[in-house]
A and B are shown apart, each in its own frame.
Chain A
């Protein structure tokens, strides 16, 4: 995405060259953020990319209000999240498409990969069961490497609130997933 920043054509209609330059700088990392937020909801790379496109286009139209970097990222996260949820509701379904992957984070051989996919589906299902506020915190924490300060900045919340929501979310998910680890009395 770093190549995008300087590749925008000069024919783009703009009434403010400085705004245009600043928006181009955002293209280095913000599309990936929007994509990953959408992916946390949709679980489908193609749909997530569509949502990220829509979010970035809306950000371009409203960029005069979003020139601050933190504000832009926060706005983009909320917009991508909302667009992804709207897409699910419009489709009228909760099931997710199978994610196409040749390997996952859980192992290498066929049996392990299959087991890993099932675990991934179970994790996704547990994530979907969370209330929206908890789910968003969980997704952003996973994106930001569980840096609660960054997540708090993105959501415009106190860091303590983020920590509390993150703890509650992980506790609920652990309760749903405890059977994956046999005889784990997580209470």
Chain B
């Protein structure tokens, strides 16, 4: 039996965990102690046996068919390498864009090509007569309701330009035009809904000084643009 003092050191030394200073002391002791020397030798045999045994348990390689089998499984499952985060974001955005486009196309088809959502409820209503149009000389325009189909405003009313107004705003615009025509509104006072705007817009002439040029030499484009 190994010496009581050195028995634990024998195990540690055999397993390669003994500090170098203690290892030297143990080796010196082994030279004079048969019991410890025998224990050290047999401990070494056990350590070598278990190391060799564990190594034999895990040695080897997959069969030659391993790679082909793996490739077949990958191809069979159509397993794509996982998309990168950016690709996934782009694909999601594209899917939403496509869904939005399909939704717009569906709405467009339902309303028969008229893109104005405000007049969807007007689809079955007859087109308003020309008498409903209001002339607003102060504005120099003819206000008339927006037709169900886009038409050439110049062709329908000759020389007077026409402003297409959304029917939801038609009543307010007509009232505004009538007020201007009747002189009840001078344009300087604006009423928004039931509120009176305290500080209406002030329009002042903006004086812009002539452009100062570095040289008065002739420029190839000067004639076309009336001088620079």
List residues of chain A with CB under 8 Å of any chain B CB.
1, 3-4, 7-9, 11-16, 19-20, 23, 27, 31-32, 35-37, 39-40, 43, 45, 49, 52-53, 56-57, 60-65, 104-106, 119-120, 122-124, 126-127, 138-139, 142-143, 146, 163, 167, 170-171, 173-174, 177-178, 180-187
Per-residue CB proximity of B16-32 to A under 8 Å, as 1/0? 11000000000000000
A186 to B46, CA, bound (A): 9
Among B16, B46, B66, B84, the residue within 8 A (CB) of A1 is B66
Count of chain B residues near A, Cβ 8 A: 49
Contacts of A49 in B (CB 8 A): 62-63, 66
A184 to B49, CA, bound (A): 13
Taking A13-B78, A53-B73 as contacts, is the C-beta distance between A142 and B57 under 8 angstroms? yes
Q: Give the distance to chain B from A101, nearest Cβ to Cβ, in Å.
A: 9
Q: Give the distance to chain A from B191, nearest Cβ to Cβ, in Å.
A: 61
Chain B, interface SS category: helix
Binds A, one of B7-15, B94-102, B112-120: B7-15
Binds A, one of B37-45, B170-178, B196-204: B37-45
A23 to B222, CA, bound (A): 67
Q: Give the distance to chain B from A1, nearest Cβ to Cβ, in Å.
A: 7
Taking A31-B67, A184-B45 as contacts, is the C-beta distance between A119 and B79 under 8 angstroms? no
Taking A64-B84, A167-B15, A173-B50 as contacts, is the C-beta distance between A104 and B56 under 8 angstroms? yes
A63 to B82, CA, bound (A): 7
Q: Are B50 and A187 in contact (CB under 8 A)?
A: no
Q: Are B69 and A174 in contact (CB under 8 A)?
A: no
Q: Are A8 and B71 in contact (CB under 8 A)?
A: yes
Q: Are A31 and B84 in contact (CB under 8 A)?
A: no
| Interface residue B227 (Cβ < 8 Å from any Cβ of A) | no
Among B54, B61, B75, B83, the residue within 8 A (CB) of A142 is B54
12 CB-based A-B contacts, threshold 8 Å: A16-B87, A36-B58, A39-B57, A43-B57, A45-B63, A119-B53, A122-B53, A123-B49, A123-B53, A123-B57, A142-B57, A184-B42
A163 to B60, CA, bound (A): 25
Per-residue CB proximity of B124-167 to A under 8 Å, as 1/0? 00000000000000000000000000000000000000000000
Q: Are A186 and B57 in contact (CB under 8 A)?
A: no
Q: Which residue of A lies closest to B8 (CB)?
A: A187
Taking A4-B67, A171-B15 as contacts, is the C-beta distance between A15 and B87 under 8 angstroms? yes
Q: Are A186 and B43 in contact (CB under 8 A)?
A: yes
A178 to B87, CA, bound (A): 59
Q: Are B66 and A52 in contact (CB under 8 A)?
A: yes
Contacts of B60 in A (CB 8 A): 35-36, 39, 45
| Interface residue B51 (Cβ < 8 Å from any Cβ of A) | yes
| Interface residue B205 (Cβ < 8 Å from any Cβ of A) | no
Among B42, B73, B74, B83, the residue within 8 A (CB) of A181 is B42
